[in-house]
Every structure is written in C-alpha cells, then in structure tokens.
Amino acid sequence: MHSALADEYRRLCRDAAARQPLAYLRLRRAIRNVVEQRVVEPGQTLPSERDFAQTLKLSRVTVRKALAGLVEEGVLTQRHGAGTFVAERIIKPMSRLTSFTEDLRARGLDPRSEFFERGIGEVTPEESMAMNLSPGVAVARLHRVRYAGNEPLAIERSVVPAELLPDPMLVRDSLYEALETRGFRPRRALQRLRAVPLSARHARLLHVPAGSAGLNVERRAFLDDGRVVEFTTSWYRGDVYDFVAELHSE
C-alpha cells in the first residue's frame, strides 16, 4: 500500500472539516487528492481492492464503490486482470457539464490557456442561429489553445453573449470560473462530436503531425432560463482524449 495514500485517508478520517460520514466517499476523496498532488502519477498502479480493504480496515464493497466512482469520473482506469491505474489518457465523462480546467485539475494536471483572441465583436449569422441571438448583437469571443503544463491538448473557439460576459478580459484561465463569478454558470448543454483529421494549422498548434485524428466537439450550453450562455467549438487531440458516455436502457 502506498503510505501517502493510507495517510491521506486517515487524515480525512481525523480532519473534522473534511469529515465525511460515508467511508467510500472519504476514500474516493483521499485517492483523488493524491492523484491531484501527483503522489501517484498517471499510468501507476493503485493497490488492489484487497490491499486497500486490509490496510484501511474497510469492507471490499466500500473500496469497490470508491474505485468505481473514480473510474466513472475518468480519474482511474481498470483493466481486467491487471488492476486499477491512474488514467493516462484523459477520459472525459460526457454526462457531466464540467470545464477543461476542472477536468485537468481533477487529474492533477496544470491547465493553461494561450489566447489568440479575447474581445468583443458582432454575432455572425451562423452564431446568431446557433445561439438564438438577434442579428447584430455583441458577443465576447475567445480563441485559445488549451494546455496541460506545456503540452497542448485542444484548440477552442468560444462565443458568449456580451450581456453575460461584457468584459472577456475577466477570463484568465477558465471561462466557466468567470461565468460562475457573474452567476451565469452553464446548467445544461447539447454537445455534438465528430471525428476529423486535424488541419495543418491545428496540428502545428497541437504539436502533432498534420492529418492526425482529432475530435471536433460543438457545445451549446444553456442557463436555467433557457438562454444560450456559450457556443464553443473545440478540436481535441484524438491521441490523448477519450470521451466516455454512460448509457441506460430506458
């Protein structure tokens, strides 16, 4: 058993502020913390279910539940017969409306953006259709390369009605953080995914060979009152991202 992991779990059991009555949630948090702190690195194996249960005096059902939750979040991956690992590829669950920054932080990575554009302009006819905006209204536009540390992962072009984000310079690293501060965090979204070969320009920005596989994602996110808060087109690197959806039969 990784001693830092056991220590973190025990710390959470003692720490009154973090006290979480449900052991599986406590364990899930402890594992997420050590992954975020990079005590356990991507690709490294975690202790077995039995090992966790014995060292921490938990039932195997509790351990299984904690691990399953983190697999669903994309923090861990499980391979039959080989155990549980910290995910190497970035696994993005499609059922949760999270931001790039949140996804990366949950994996202990350091999200960064480099902007090509961050300003106010007039909505284009295509955007006004997609966002239900009247022709001519002002929109904030962000065009950026998204990095984990120094590694480029995606290119994103976002459009937000200027009435919701009048000053795009408020967006430092995270669009969702800026929207949240203004009380406009997206609540629901529609997303469309397409496989595309990356253009020469995108491939160069993403440090991959031209024509490499990319995922083109279009997200339209809404507020509770039905207003569209963002229309974002992203090109994710196909070699590092998995988009995973959970399906139910009815």
In this complex, which beta carbon is closest to ligand 16G, that of residue 73 or of residue 156?
Answer: 156
Q: Which amino acid makes up residue 207?
A: H
In this complex, which beta carbon is closest to ligand 16G, that of residue 62 or of residue 234?
Answer: 234
In this complex, which beta carbon is closest to ligand 16G, that of residue 101 or of residue 128?
Answer: 101
In this complex, which beta carbon is closest to ligand 16G, that of residue 9 or of residue 241?
Answer: 241
From the CB of 113, what's the least distance to ligand 16G, in Å? 7
From the CB of 15, what's the least distance to ligand 16G, in Å? 29
DSSP code of 124? P
Task: Please give the structure tokens belonging to residue 41.
Answer: 């690195």
Contact criterion met (CB below 8 Å) for 203 and 212:
yes
Parallel/antiparallel/unpaired status of strands 241-244 and 90-93:
parallel
From the CB of 119, what's the least distance to ligand 16G, in Å? 16
Residue numbers of the site for ligand 16G (CB under 6 A)?
99-101, 156, 158, 174-177, 217, 219, 230, 232, 234
**CA–CA distance, 47 with 45 (Å, rounded to integer):** 7
In this complex, which beta carbon is closest to ligand 16G, that of residue 199 or of residue 233?
Answer: 233
Tokens 């991959």 correspond to: 208
Q: How many CB atoms lie within 10 A of CB 110?
A: 14
**CA–CA distance, 183 with 54 (Å, rounded to integer):** 45
From the CB of 132, what's the least distance to ligand 16G, in Å? 17
From the CB of 94, what's the least distance to ligand 16G, in Å? 9
From the CB of 219, what's the least distance to ligand 16G, in Å? 4
Contact criterion met (CB below 8 Å) for 162 and 123:
no
* DSSP helix, strand, coil percent of the chain (3-state; round to 5): 30, 30, 35
In this complex, which beta carbon is closest to ligand 16G, that of residue 127 or of residue 156?
Answer: 156
In this complex, which beta carbon is closest to ligand 16G, that of residue 51 or of residue 151?
Answer: 151
**CA–CA distance, 144 with 142 (Å, rounded to integer):** 6
Phi-psi region of 115 (alpha: psi -120 to 50; beta: other; left: phi over 0): beta
Task: Please give the structure tokens belonging to residue 90.
Answer: 């970035």
From the CB of 64, what's the least distance to ligand 16G, in Å? 28
Contact criterion met (CB below 8 Å) for 28 and 8:
no
